[in-house]
Amino acid sequence: MKYKFLESINIGPLTLRNRIIRPAVAEYIANPDGSIGDQYMEYYRNIARGGVALITPGIAVVDETAPYVASNQPYLTDKKYIPGMKKVVDAIHGEGAKITFQLWHSGHYLIDGALAPMVNDLTKQDIERLKQKYLTAAKNCKEAGADGVEYHIAHTYLPSQFMSTYFNRRTDEYGSNTPENAMRFSVECINMIRNELCDDNFIITAKINGSDFVEGGTTPQWAARCARLLEKAGVAMITVNAGGALSGYDYMSDNGKRPEGWKVDLAATVKKAVTVPVAASGSLRHPEYVSKIIEQDKCDLAALGRATIAEPEWVNKAAQSREDEMRYCISCLYCFTKVAEDGSEPGCSVNPFAKCEFIKPEPVADGHDRKVVIIGAGPSGLEAAITLAERGFNISIFEQKPYLGGLIKLATVPPNKTKINWAIDYYEKQIQRLDIDLKLSTRATIEKIEKLNPYAVILAAGSNEIVPLVEGAGLDNVISVRDLLEQKLRFDGKKVAVIGAGLTGIEAAHYLRNSNSDVYVVEKKPDPGATRSLADQLSFQDALAGGVKFYFQTFLHKINKNSITVLDLASNKKITLPADIVMPALGIRSNVELYDALKNKFENVYKIGDSDCPGKLPQAVRSGSNLGYALK
Ligand SMILES: Cc1cc2nc3c(=O)[nH]c(=O)nc-3n(C[C@H](O)[C@H](O)[C@H](O)COP(=O)(O)O)c2cc1C
Ligand code: SF4
């Protein structure tokens, strides 16, 4: 077989059709009352259809009275939820995959927006009550027809807090002085579930942290010792990840700064300690790599979380040698955001139909070679191009730059962003596969377009940077972020003032800092703190750690030759800050330069991506895809 992961494997009494599992990834698309509806069901049907062997949907609540309960995640707490659970079970089974629900108790208090651990406050009575909650939830899963449950001991949630020598400071038999004590709560829960429910058709598995990545917390060696106790308690498989809510989300799901498979050795350490199958989790992306770690016996299975959001057909495409058609997750963490800036549900930056599976149209081959001209080879233009080409339209793309990708090409330049190149590679391969006419270094003009006699013209020309409306904005020391990234400019030893602490400003500042500039960022708004999306938060922390300084509530008043004048909004005083270079990062405006002229000349003219409405990569990709499907 081409890839080792395509071989089947037994976990307990269950036979899996291959060794790729979809680990729990909170989707935030259950109904607000904790029940499961059609969007949720179709999401998982689609992932099962893509070929994975086992799916564990995201955290499912075992105690809805807990101090902190995630919103829009399923509840397992009552029989009234069983009909919804059954829907997703049947959908997954219908596609030949297995399903285990993930039993989850956060174990958190939410104090002033911050999470705090509960483990040390629980009485014996609380512990007994909680064990019953786990059992009830597992019973409901069995009644819904699931193949089992995954007992969640990872990511610093309640059982993980018991397991962790850092969080667990208890002095009783549930303390963390020995692995037996640290695992007592989990082993007792697992024993109850195993004794009462497990049989040839119902298993219990576990997910643990191979490391907490905090000083004094779970280490790989500790995890291995704890895993032995889980095996003894009867779990059929152990998935190994790391980090978590209290010790750092980027250790749980990294933001692109670490290499593929950077946590595999944690799984390998656990695997050496047990005989049950072990699944590795964390930044596993490419079929060859995944096959190799199984061949090397570092793990028995691979848990592909974000890889299967970005590419639900990951397994099928690998099996059919269609690797070139795979969209690889770029670890941008957009999927971690609960609500997108435009109020919609965040799906995925590279997969336009993530969480919209229920409205995905069937592609129809009705293009009949009609010519469509697309102006701009950024993500919206490219997405439209490949969708339309697949429908049989005849596509020509004009791109004035010598490269494709538009702004996302520049987005690969700041620190930790190289994985964005995987998205660009994908488009390059599709352009070749579909034999699309791509005219690089070619500016679109009405005359050139007219010569092609197009049925439709699509403006996907991106955006222009907003120039600050202040005195001095036209001085020579004002440099744009795009010039910085495109020309990889360096200002070694110079003082640079970046104006605007959005993601673009943060990343530009971090890039400059890495090339030895003395950088600070001024931002008129207060520090958004924890309200930043996880991706923005991690970039902000990385920039701070790299030595970038931030001035919040500081309003740019004037740009001078060697300084800027700002208004400190807290004291309402004007201050002058030294600056050899000033770099505005104040957002973008749609580039609609050609739009009116096109409208006057051609019948079917459309705007997509930033040319229509400035946004980020996921909005651009969806916009291109939407038009690609909708064009009549
Ligand atoms: C948006 C998001 C939600 C997640 N939710 C869960 C969850 O509900 N339960 C869980 O055990 N892990 C959760 N994880 C962690 C993943 O299961 C996985 O272990 C981790 O992301 C690393 O693997 P990946 O790089 O393949 O995504 C989540 C990760 C992401 C990105
Ligand atoms: S949103 Fe980003 S991190 Fe999440 S699956 Fe898609 S590409 Fe990966």
- What CATH number did the domain enclosing 447 receive? 3.40.50.720
Contact 233, 151 (CB under 8 A): no
CB of 501 closer than 6 angstroms to any ligand 2 atom: no
Give the rounded distance of the alpha carbon of 26 from its chain centre: 11
What does the pLDDT average to over 78-90?
A: 98
CB of 306 closer than 6 angstroms to any ligand 1 atom: yes
Q: Ligand 2, closest atom to CA 306?
A: 5
Ligand nearest to the CA of 334: 2
Neighbouring CB atoms inside 10 A of 262's CB total 15
Instruction: Answer whether residue 322 shows pLDDT above 90.
Output: yes
Pair 612, 574 in one domain: no
Residue 475 lies inside a defined structural domain of this protein: no
Residue 202 lies inside a defined structural domain of this protein: yes
> pLDDT value at position 617?
96
CATH number at residue 15: 3.20.20.70
- Per residue in 142-198, pLDDT (tens digit) is 999 999 999 999 999 999 999 999 999 999 999 999 999 999 999 999 999 999 999
Q: Using CA positions, which residue lies closest to atom 4 of ligand 2?
A: 335
Q: Ligand 2, closest atom to CA 309?
A: 5
Pair 489, 445 in one domain: no
Question: Given 3-state DSSP classes, what are the helix, strand and coil percentages for the chain, each rounded to the nearest 5?
Answer: 35, 20, 45
How far from 341 is each of 345, 346, 383, 535, CA to CA, in Å? 9, 9, 21, 13
Pair 408, 522 in one domain: no
Pair 303, 389 in one domain: no
Pair 570, 507 in one domain: yes
Residue 11 lies inside a defined structural domain of this protein: yes
What does the pLDDT average to over 544-555?
A: 96
Ligand nearest to the CA of 100: 1
Pair 339, 376 in one domain: no
Residue 473 lies inside a defined structural domain of this protein: no
> pLDDT value at position 358?
84
* Total count of domains within the chain: 3
Cα of 308 from ligand 2 centre, angstroms: 9
CB of 304 closer than 6 angstroms to any ligand 2 atom: no
Pair 303, 189 in one domain: yes
Instruction: Answer whether residue 595 shows pLDDT above 90.
Output: yes
Q: Strand, helix or coil at 311? A: coil
- Per residue in 11-25, pLDDT (tens digit) is 999 999 999 999 999
Cα of 535 from ligand 2 centre, angstroms: 11
Cα of 25 from ligand 1 centre, angstroms: 4
Q: Ligand 2, closest atom to CA 305?
A: 5
How far from 362 is each of 73, 316, 628, 630, CA to CA, in Å? 29, 18, 12, 11
User: Among 399, 387, 331, 285, which Cα is nearest to 621's?
Assistant: 387
> pLDDT value at position 340?
67
CB of 329 closer than 6 angstroms to any ligand 2 atom: yes
Pair 504, 459 in one domain: no
Give me the phi and psi of 535, to 5 degrees please: -60, -45
User: Among 399, 463, 454, which Cα is nearest to 431's?
Assistant: 399
What does the pLDDT average to over 440-469?
A: 97
Structural domain harbouring 405: 363-465+589-630
CB of 617 closer than 6 angstroms to any ligand 2 atom: no
Torsion angle, alpha carbons of 528, 112, 250, 160, to 10: 180
Which pTM was predicted?
0.96
Answer with the one of 307, 331, 358 that is the final residue of a domain: 358
Q: What is the residue-averaged pLDDT of the chain?
A: 96
Ligand nearest to the CA of 249: 1
Answer with the one of 332, 358, 384 that is the final residue of a domain: 358
* 455 included as an active-site residue: no
Token readout for 379 is 């993500």
CATH number at residue 546: 3.50.50.60
Residue 611 lies inside a defined structural domain of this protein: yes
Pair 428, 494 in one domain: no
What does the pLDDT average to over 430-444?
A: 98
Question: Residues 32-64, buried b or exposed e (16+ Cβ, 10 A)?
Answer: eebbbebbbbbbbbbbbbbbbbbbbbbbbbbbe
CB of 242 closer than 6 angstroms to any ligand 1 atom: no
CB of 305 closer than 6 angstroms to any ligand 1 atom: yes
Residue 471 lies inside a defined structural domain of this protein: no
CB of 53 closer than 6 angstroms to any ligand 2 atom: no
**To the nearest whole percent, how much of the chain has pLDDT over 90?**
94
Which of the following is catalytic: 157, 455, 511, 520? 157
Token readout for 201 is 């058709």
Pair 605, 508 in one domain: no
> pLDDT value at position 341?
66
Q: Ligand 1, closest atom to CA 303?
A: 26
CB of 334 closer than 6 angstroms to any ligand 1 atom: no
Pair 394, 497 in one domain: no
Question: Residues 298-320, buried b or exposed e (16+ Cβ, 10 A)?
Answer: bbbbbbbbbbbbbbbbbbebbbe
Q: Name the band, by pLDDT with cuts 50, 70 and 90, for residue 570.
A: very high
Instruction: Answer whether residue 342 shows pLDDT above 80.
Output: no
Residue 527 lies inside a defined structural domain of this protein: yes
**To the nearest whole percent, how much of the chain has pLDDT over 70?**
99
> pLDDT value at position 9?
98
Q: Using CA positions, which residue lies closest to atom 22 of ligand 1?
A: 282
Instruction: Answer whether residue 343 shows pLDDT above 70.
Output: no
> pLDDT value at position 474?
96
> pLDDT value at position 110?
87
Pair 571, 617 in one domain: no
Q: Ligand 2, closest atom to CA 346?
A: 1
Instruction: Answer whether residue 100 shows pLDDT above 80.
Output: yes
Best residue for ligand 2 mutational test, from 333, 356, 422, 619 (most atoms within 8 Å of Cβ): 333
Residue 399 lies inside a defined structural domain of this protein: yes
Q: Using CA positions, which residue lies closest to atom 30 of ligand 1?
A: 25
